């Protein structure tokens, strides 16, 4: 409560920069996804499986947000996709200005999809718009199905919910339909993907959805947005 | 960066109240543990199994911190232990003043152990001293063994690390000894417990350690601190 005013100013400033980012992404016909989850829910592994399927066929880039280490950027770089690591040094979320600086390293006009992997945190990143088109919240079957009830702000701002680690369903107490019901109670329009980034089960629907996003990108003046064009770092 | 000064003032104020809490707990010969983890790592389940073993034999109380819902407090209340739910309404961590208000509901002199279950967040709660004697960070085998590297502040401030969900080790890629090594790289004095709160495997060492803490409490003037005294809500 004591820093409410300051916090509001920070959020307002963040929203202003996020709006600049959003305009910039729109001008480049670029679809941007913000991946959000608890630590260890599988954001990076999902991203790796996604790059495995899409890199080479589409022009992708990644912004990696982490409290510390560039481990995730190094994991991503193996897929020959341009990646920028943002290390927050203790900061609990990405902000729009960090993303603005990060994407200055890319030629946005030459990209089809940009993934932003946020800091692993199911609370704070919900408050910080980055200018993305899609907020994708990832929960895993090992976390318990009550997470939407206990962390509602994140589910309120998300459009997509990935339920990861379905390969572990036989070994954990997790009720899939109850998880969906709880999440839809917070955000009725939420779209779900249930998959295992580890085994690949259920991954196809997620990949199809991403390809659809790319196809729906308004084509720019060249025909460079078609599948099959490669761009690697 | 822009709120650094304000943040420092907030932390200073928090530290002052935490010091008051610590003095208050010491005066009551009360051992206080702050349980910290990502969402879904198993804090509440570990607490339930702990209360199952210790409630009735010792005088315990719980402060539950959550972003939303009193689900956890209701889970804890089934063990006939006094519990206060703190709902942060979006706040990403507990602060010392919230704990000060919460524990005003207990007669601290009549307690042996107080557990504070923090908000599920591996980042922010690391910065907020609550006046506890022990910070216990809980990670689970489903989160990946790299968590200490990626979230070092939390491991730097902790004295104890519980590695939970060891029942899932056969089904996940998690190297126990590497997890310990990474964590000890951050905090060499870290003490480990490896267990499954779900199956009970490995729980005994944790329970023994807690009983030892209680026995080490300097006895107060009465002999009310001995095992066997019951106090329930």
pLDDT band at A5 (very low <50, low <70, confident <90, very high): low
Name the pLDDT band for A226 (thresholds 50, 70, 90).
very low
* Region label for A136, one of left (φ > 0), alpha (ψ between -120 and 50) or beta (otherwise): beta
Q: Report the chain B residue with the minimal C-alpha distance to residue A143.
A: B40
Residue B138 has pLDDT above 80, yes or no: yes
Q: Are B194 and B166 in contact (CB under 8 A)?
A: yes
Report the residue from B92, B142, B150 with minimal CB separation from A92: B92
Q: Is the pLDDT of residue B119 over 90?
A: yes
pLDDT at position B189 over 80: yes
* pLDDT band for position B219 (cuts 50, 70, 90): very low
| Confidence tier at B6 by pLDDT (50, 70, 90) | low
**Computed from CA positions of residues A231, A37, B142, A161, in that sequence, does the dihedral angle turn out positive or negative?**
negative
Cα separation, A217 vs B88, whole angstroms: 40
Please give the average per-residue pLDDT across B170-198, as a whole number: 97
pLDDT band at A1 (very low <50, low <70, confident <90, very high): very low
3-state secondary structure of B6: helix
The pLDDT of residue B41 is above 80: yes
Q: What is the mean pLDDT of chain B?
A: 91
Higher pLDDT, residue A3 or A145? A145
The pLDDT, as a whole number, for residue B93 is 96
pTM of the model: 0.89
Lowest mean pLDDT across B42-51, B65-74, B161-170, B219-228:
B219-228
Tell me the C-alpha distance between A97 and A152, whole Å.
25
Asked if the model's pLDDT at residue B178 lies above 90, the reply is yes
Cβ separation A121–B123 shorter than 8 A: yes
Give the SS3 label for residue B7: helix
Distance from B42 to chain A by nearest Cα, in Å? 8
Is B216 or B5 the better-scoring residue by pLDDT? B216
- Bridge partners of residue B63, in order along the sequence: B84, B116
Sheet holding A113-117, edge to edge: A83-87, A60-66, A113-117, A31-37, A134-140, A160-164, A191-194
Return the pLDDT at A11: 87
Residue B65 to chain A, least CA–CA distance (Å) = 10
| Domains, chain A | 4-216 (3.40.50.300)
Three-point CA angle A134, A87, B18, nearest 5°: 100
The β-bridge relationship of strands B83-87 and A60-66 is unpaired
pLDDT over 80 (residue A225) = no
Return the half-sphere exposure (C-beta side, CA atoms, 13 A cut-off) of residue B24. 23
Question: pLDDT digits over A107-142, tens only?
Answer: 999 999 999 999 999 999 999 999 999 999 999 999
- DSSP H helical ranges for B64-202: 71-77, 96-103, 147-150, 152-157, 176-186
Measured distance CA(B38)–CA(B46) in Å, rounded? 14
Q: What is the ipTM of this complex?
A: 0.87
Q: How far is A87 from chain B (nearest CA, A)?
A: 10
Mutate to test the interface with A, among B42, B45, B142 (most CBs of A within 10 A): B142
Give the pLDDT band of residue B70 (cuts 50, 70, 90). Answer: very high
- Assess whether pLDDT exceeds 90 at residue B225: no
């Amino acid at each position: 409560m004591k820093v409410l005013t300051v916090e509001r100013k920070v959020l307002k400033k963040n929203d202003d920069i996020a709006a600049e980012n959003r305009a910039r992404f729109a001008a480049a016909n670029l679809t941007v996804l913000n991946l959000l989850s608890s630590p260890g829910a599988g954001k990076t592994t999902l991203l790796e499986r996604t790059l495995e399927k899409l890199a080479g066929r589409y022009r992708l880039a990644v912004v990696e947000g982490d409290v510390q280490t560039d481990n995730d950027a190094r994991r991503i770089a193996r897929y020959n996709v341009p990646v920028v690591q943002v290390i927050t040094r203790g900061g609990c979320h990405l902000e729009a200005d960090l993303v603005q600086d990060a994407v200055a390293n890319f030629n946005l006009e030459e990209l089809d999809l940009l993934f932003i992997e946020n800091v692993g945190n199911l609370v704070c990143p919900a408050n910080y718009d980055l200018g993305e088109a899609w907020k994708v919240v990832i929960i895993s079957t090992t976390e318990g199905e009550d997470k939407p009830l206990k962390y509602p702000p994140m589910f309120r701002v998300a459009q997509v919910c990935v339920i990861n680690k379905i390969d572990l369903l036989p070994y954990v107490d997790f009720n899939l339909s109850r998880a969906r019901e709880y999440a839809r109670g917070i955000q009725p329009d939420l779209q779900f993907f249930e998959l295992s980034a580890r085994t690949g089960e259920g991954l196809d629907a997620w990949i199809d959805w991403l390809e659809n996003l790319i196809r729906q990108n308004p084509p720019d003046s060249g025909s460079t947005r078609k599948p099959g064009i490669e761009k690697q770092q």
